[in-house]
Amino acid sequence: MAETRRAFLTAALAGGAGLVAGKAAAQGDPAITELQPWSRYLGDGVDARPYGKPSRYESHVVRRNVAWLTADPISSVNFTPLHELDGIITPSGLCFERHHAGIAEIDPAQHRLMINGLVERPLVFTMQDLMRFPRENRVYFMECAANSGMEWRGAQLNGCQYTHGMIHNLVYTGVSLRRVLEEAGLRPNAKWIMPEGADASAMTRSIPIEKALEDCMIAFRMNGEALRPEQGYPLRLVVPGWEGNMWIKWLRRIEVGDEPWHHREETSKYTDLLKDGKARRFTWEMDAKSVITSPSPQAPITHGTGPTVISGMAWSGRGTIPRVDVSLDGGMNWYRARMDGPSFDKSIHRFYFEFDWDGRPLLLQSRAHDSTGYVQPTKKALREIRGVESIYHQNGIQTWHVNERGEAENVEVS
Ligand code: MTE
Ligand code: CO
């Protein structure tokens, strides 16, 4: 880290600047010399905002959808504004949403969780019952298997909100699924579970019992407060590191069985069609991936040349991210980025790369290495193995072209 800092200072000094960004003081800037309205008048009192919202100057920081992907908003997706965020936690109101039958608005007093199938004692829990189990807190990313799926055939959507925004990273509070299954008592032939949602889509997925017993959670809080309706209030299944489709929202039932159910979401959907017409199935774990969130098409460089901060995020469904490399020239030369902030298993990690921009065009890329030694592949390498027929599990290296004016665009290098 000391080395990076030294390199940065040397670069800045070599450019003749010495200062990072400040200007010489007191040149008659009205922002300093004139008294602003907020200094002149009293502000709102403590009774004005019982539930806090961001400043009105941040009103552009919102989830957005892509018109041509949204035939009907009831079964559609919107995207997390990654280019406006930093650190590792996604604010609750900005988490992307993916619903198959709209948002279920559930009265928690009427909500039940049933455990049935290959168990000794089929059980039904109220929310109050679940609150009496020992709790745990964990930080996990959740990524839709279709994240970046529109980019399989080429660069298409212009902004990391749209290319990579089907992801969020939250602190979950809940109970261990293992603990709840043990309460019901698993029969010896219990090999799979099938969680089911209470929304009108009654979504189901088959999950192997090993994963269910390893680290899955039944969560009722995100970022400290109750789950948002969009994220499955009052109960959601958390399946760390595995594709978002398995994280059943509005969880109302878990059936235990001896084989997978082969339902819609694991046959015609969420399978990867390969070049030879065969489909890869049960591709649950999300491979390591990263993206530069700023600069990016929705977050151009507006300050001109000189000291410039690249900010990005990286994650892996198999562990932590000890290292990210950044390239300024489309992958010819790589530099080690600076990881910053907490590093949790199966969570988003933040990285930065500080450099002196000389105003020449850039081809920005980032490449994640995860704790298993896996290295994020190029899109070309991915296509060689998997073809371009799938819309799922596209974790290739993203390229942003930055022009002399600092504007960025989604491109590909061959
Ligand atoms: N669970 C239910 N009950 N209904 C749904 O439509 N969508 C799934 C999954 N769980 C879904 C669901 C899909 S495809 C994804 S990617 C995630 O929830 C989206 O979670 P989010 O809305 O919190 O982003
Ligand atoms: Co999904």
- Regarding predicted confidence, which is higher, 338 or 272? 338
Q: Is the CB of 99 under 6 A from ligand 1?
A: yes
**What are the Cα distances from residue 375, in Å, to 210, 310, 366, 371, 390?**
26, 20, 11, 10, 21
Residues forming beta bridges with residue 192, ordered by sequence position: 208, 257
Q: Which atom of ligand 1 is found nearest the CA of 143?
A: 16
pLDDT score at 86: 98
Can you give the residue ranges of every domain in the chain? 2-39, 69-280, 289-411
Q: Is the CB of 176 under 6 A from ligand 1?
A: no
Residue closest by Cα to atom 19 of ligand 1: 98
Which pairs from 268-277 meet CB under 8 Å and 24+ separation?
A: 269/245, 270/145, 270/243, 270/245, 270/392, 271/392, 272/386, 272/390, 272/392, 272/393, 273/387, 273/389, 273/390, 274/386, 274/387, 274/389, 274/390, 275/386, 275/387, 275/389
User: In this predicted model, what pLDDT tens digit does every residue of 51-92 receive, in sequence order?
Assistant: 999 999 999 999 999 999 888 888 899 999 999 999 999 999
What is the 46 CA–ligand 1 centroid distance (Å)? 36
Q: Is the CB of 239 under 6 A from ligand 1?
A: no
Query: pTM of the predicted model, to two decimals?
Result: 0.94
pLDDT band at 414 (very low <50, low <70, confident <90, very high): confident
Give backbone dihedrals phi and psi of 35, rounded to 5 degrees, phi first.
-75, 125
Closest to 265 (Cα-Cα) out of 198, 205, 209? 205
Percent share of the chain, pLDDT over 90: 85
Q: Is the CB of 249 under 6 A from ligand 1?
A: yes
pLDDT band at 195 (very low <50, low <70, confident <90, very high): very high
Percent share of the chain, pLDDT over 70: 94
User: In this predicted model, what pLDDT tens digit does every residue of 176-191 receive, in sequence order?
Assistant: 999 999 999 999 999 9
Strands 251-257 and 112-117: parallel
Residue closest by Cα to atom 21 of ligand 1: 97
The answer, yes or no, to whether residue 16 has pLDDT greater than 80, is no
Q: Which atom of ligand 1 is found nearest the CA of 251?
A: 3
Q: Is the CB of 243 under 6 A from ligand 1?
A: no
CA distance 64 to 105: 21
Rounded to an integer, the average pLDDT of 18-22 is: 59
Rounded to an integer, the average pLDDT of 186-199 is: 98
The whole-chain average pLDDT of the chain stands at 93
The answer, yes or no, to whether residue 26 has pLDDT greater than 80, is no
Q: Is the CB of 406 under 6 A from ligand 1?
A: no
Distance of CA 298 to the CA centre of its chain: 17
Contact between 95 and 168 under an 8 Å Cβ cutoff? The reply is: yes
CA angle at residue 211 from 205 to 216, to 5 degrees? Answer: 85
The answer, yes or no, to whether residue 25 has pLDDT greater than 70, is no
pLDDT score at 19: 55
| Right CATH for 289-411 from 3.40.50.620, 3.40.50.720, 2.60.40.650, 1.20.120.1630 | 2.60.40.650
Burial 224-241 (b: 16+ CB within 10 A, else e): eeebbebbbbbbbbbbbb
Q: Is the CB of 195 under 6 A from ligand 1?
A: no
| Right CATH for 69-280 from 3.90.420.10, 3.30.70.100, 1.10.10.60, 3.30.70.520 | 3.90.420.10
The answer, yes or no, to whether residue 319 has pLDDT greater than 60, is yes
What is the 167 CA–ligand 2 centroid distance (Å)? 9
The answer, yes or no, to whether residue 34 has pLDDT greater than 80, is yes
Residue from 78, 100, 170 to probe ligand 1 pocket by mutation (most atoms less than 8 Å from CB): 100
Rounded to an integer, the average pLDDT of 379-396 is: 94
CA distance 238 to 366: 28
- Non-local (6+) Cβ contacts of 313 within 8 A are 82, 88, 290, 291, 293, 348, 349, 350, 351
CA distance 281 to 136: 31
The answer, yes or no, to whether residue 5 has pLDDT greater than 80, is no
Q: Is the CB of 250 under 6 A from ligand 1?
A: yes
User: In this predicted model, what pLDDT tens digit does every residue of 42-53 receive, in sequence order?
Assistant: 999 999 999 999
User: In this predicted model, what pLDDT tens digit does every residue of 126-162 receive, in sequence order?
Assistant: 999 999 999 999 999 999 999 999 999 999 999 999 9
**What are the Cα distances from residue 404, in Å, to 192, 251, 412?**
55, 50, 18
CA angle at residue 43 from 39 to 46, to 5 degrees? Answer: 145
Give the 3-state secondary structure of 113-157. Answer: EEEEECECCCEEEEHHHHCCCCCEEEEEEEECCCCCHHHCCCCCC
Q: Matching CATH topology for 69-280 and 289-411?
A: no
What is the 99 CA–ligand 2 centroid distance (Å)? 8
Give backbone dihedrals phi and psi of 409, rounded to 5 degrees, phi first.
-145, 145
What is the 99 CA–ligand 1 centroid distance (Å)? 5
**What are the Cα distances from residue 149, in Å, to 12, 153, 199, 379, 393?**
39, 9, 25, 12, 7
Of 1-5, 22-26, 262-266, the least confident? 1-5
Closest to 315 (Cα-Cα) out of 243, 225, 237, 217? 243
Residue from 98, 106, 166 to probe ligand 1 pocket by mutation (most atoms less than 8 Å from CB): 98
